[in-house]
Amino acid sequence: MSRHNASAAPAIPRISLTWLLVAQALVIIPHIAHLPLWVLALWLFCAGWRIQIYRMRVGFPSAWAKAGLMLAASCGVLLSRGSLIGLDAGVVLLIAAFVLKLVELRTRRDALVLIFLGFFCVVTSYLFDDSLTAAAFSALPISALLAAMIGLQQSYLAMRPWPTLRLALVMLGQALPLMLLLFVFFPRLGPLWSMPNPNSQARTGLSDNMTPADVAELSKSTELVFSATFKGSVPARNQLYWRALTYQHFDGRRWSQAPLAQLASAPVWSQTGPSVNYDIIMQPSGQSWLFALDVAQSRTPDVQQSSDFSLRHTQPVEQVLLYGISSWPRALRASEATVASLAANLQLPVSGDPRSRAWALELKRQYPSTPALVEQLLRHFNQQPFAYTLKPPPVGSDSIDEFLFRTLRGFCAHYAGAMTFVLRAAGIPARVVAGYQGGELNPAGIFLTVRQFDAHAWVEYWQAGVGWQSVDPTFQVAPERIEQGLEQALSAEGSFLAGSPLSLQRYRNIELLNNVRLAWENLNYGWQRWVLGYQGTQQLEFLQRWFGRMDSQLLVLAIVGGGAVLLSVLALFLFKPWRAQQDPLRREFVRFERLLARHAVRREQAEGPRAFALRAAEQLPAQQAAIMEFAEAFETQQYAALGADVHALREALARLRRALPWRFTRT
């Protein structure tokens, strides 16, 4: 780097450059978790270079240097992300360009380009985190970018950092009413393109196949899965079985979905008994299945009921999704079924687990009716020394045999898988249901939060004329898991969230910490329900509830009319016309004008106070001293920022009045 260009560079004000550096740091912070480390090193390098340019120690990069930096950044993105295409790679490339632009700032136009690029980078952070915390933090880089923009102007603020920031905050506050108006009324439009969301990578949660170890792993996570708000009383905890998907196929180790279960063809069922109505706010999962109590129907578009009674969205859930549900817990489910559907729920591996198969045949001989056999199986789990644990001993190739007859220790997936296997071996169609059980009631907002550690698996079996029935063998072994939760079920073992010592979920027995946690969850719930969840259907329902019928014309009128009102209020706030006559200095000058007008000296349009006073002194030479005394006093009070002394100005006006001929001085 050379110095020959440094002195020739047009200077960008120091305050603007300072705020630009601060803004870049604040813009990058939310991206740190998913940015490669070389981007941070690049920013430190470019920031140092830019500071040295300002100090005239080095020059601007040459065209070859800029091309080399851009090529190096592109290669870095390609190596760290494997592609230059896609949202994740695109965001990294955008941040790199945002950083590199810093070293070539020559003019205010370049600085404006960098500022606008910064605003766009702030928006991209919501692709990775749209929580309340992220939204609150984004106000910091936006304020810094506005302060940098203000600092570019040649004004008295150009050398004053904190007044610059204060003005930026005022401007941000003035924009809030218009932002809220557009948020409420502007129609929600679908994306113009569809690309994989970065959040869909490396997510925890249920998958389309399961081993007992998978569900046990989920129990170690405190990640929020969804929240539920009931329109009425909340069902008892032992009734809160949140279905996600079903597993029909078993290969001897792993349960997985059958292709038929994913069909959108609605199953046959009857609505019997009272319904339960509630809303779900689901976190992004990258999967299409949804969560609901049995048997569920949704009044939200794009939500369909599958042939296995689960709910699916037409697209993978890549952002917070709010949907309404009505469930009928006593519904009669598929009392008649096809041979093909029943055969899919009788599938077993050709060989393996011989003791479990033989035991199933023995149970079938002793208990020929399906209800009696199911009851005996549940009694077996209850009476034998089975234990509920997150640390089961390892099993061999015949996993069902070893669990049922040797280890007797396992998690919910062990019990659900073993019971389904035995029922199928006895000729009873059955399947494993995966989802979540229970949830924590937040007393502040009266909603349930369901987390990954609430993951659960249970069993459904089919009986002619009765349809699908749900049973939970885990309840026979650890009823406290269903009635109280995972923490109580593992209290003796002490393994609840053992790998997360900093999680507030572990300290629910400490009242202060627990109240702080619940209050924060309540704030986040409101953010997700009323801000992130305010999408197409929810927006239409809200507007119709408050304004009745809504169509495109009314929306346009509301936006234009509301915007006009807000801009008018803002204009009144900025110009403050009511203060024109309240300014005591201005009132005295108006009296000065009126006094001279009575002596045929009238102020011309756009004539300044001093120019008017000089002209008046020429036309009234006898009163020249008194006129100029008042003008100088007015200028001193108005422009010298010495504090308004209205009394001194009034005395000067009184002396001028006495100096003028008496017949013209009546006011």
Which residues of 406-558 form beta strands (DSSP E)? 409-410, 430-437, 440-442, 447-451, 455-463, 467-471
Amino acid at 239: Q
Count of helices and strands (H, E) across the chain: 23, 19
456 catalytic residue (yes or no)? yes
Q: How far is CA 64 from CA 1, 38, 50, 68, in A?
A: 12, 21, 18, 6
Measured in whole angstroms, the distance separating CA 584 from the mean position of its chain's CA atoms is 50
412 catalytic residue (yes or no)? yes
> Which stretches within 284-408 are classed as H helix?
339-344, 354-366, 370-383, 399-402
- Give the number of other Cβ atoms within 10 Å of residue 42's Cβ: 20
Amino acid at 27: V
Q: How far is CA 8 from CA 176, 346, 646, in A?
A: 41, 83, 50
CA-CA distance, 412 to 399, in Å (whole number)? 15
Among residues 534, 127, 34, the alpha carbon closest in space to that of 318 is found at 127
Is the Cβ–Cβ distance between 436 and 242 less than 8 Å?
Answer: yes
CB within 8 Å of 216: residues ≥ 6 apart: 390, 392, 411, 413
Collapsed DSSP state (helix, strand, coil) of residue 410:
strand
Burial 468-497 (b: 16+ CB within 10 A, else e): beebbbbbbbbeebbeebbbebbeeeebbb
Eight-class DSSP state of 292: B
> Which stretches within 367-472 are classed as H helix?
370-383, 399-402, 412-425
Which one is catalytic: 401, 412, 414, 454?
Answer: 412
Secondary-structure breakdown of the chain: helix, strand, coil percentages, each rounded to the nearest 5: 55, 10, 35
Collapsed DSSP state (helix, strand, coil) of residue 243:
strand
529-537 long-range contacts (CB < 8 A, ≥24 apart) are 529/227, 529/229, 529/279, 529/281, 529/322, 531/135, 532/130, 532/319, 532/320, 532/322, 533/281, 533/320, 533/321, 533/322, 534/183, 534/188, 535/188, 535/322, 536/187, 536/188, 537/300, 537/301
Eight-class DSSP state of 369: S
472 catalytic residue (yes or no)? yes
Residues involved in catalysis:
412, 456, 472
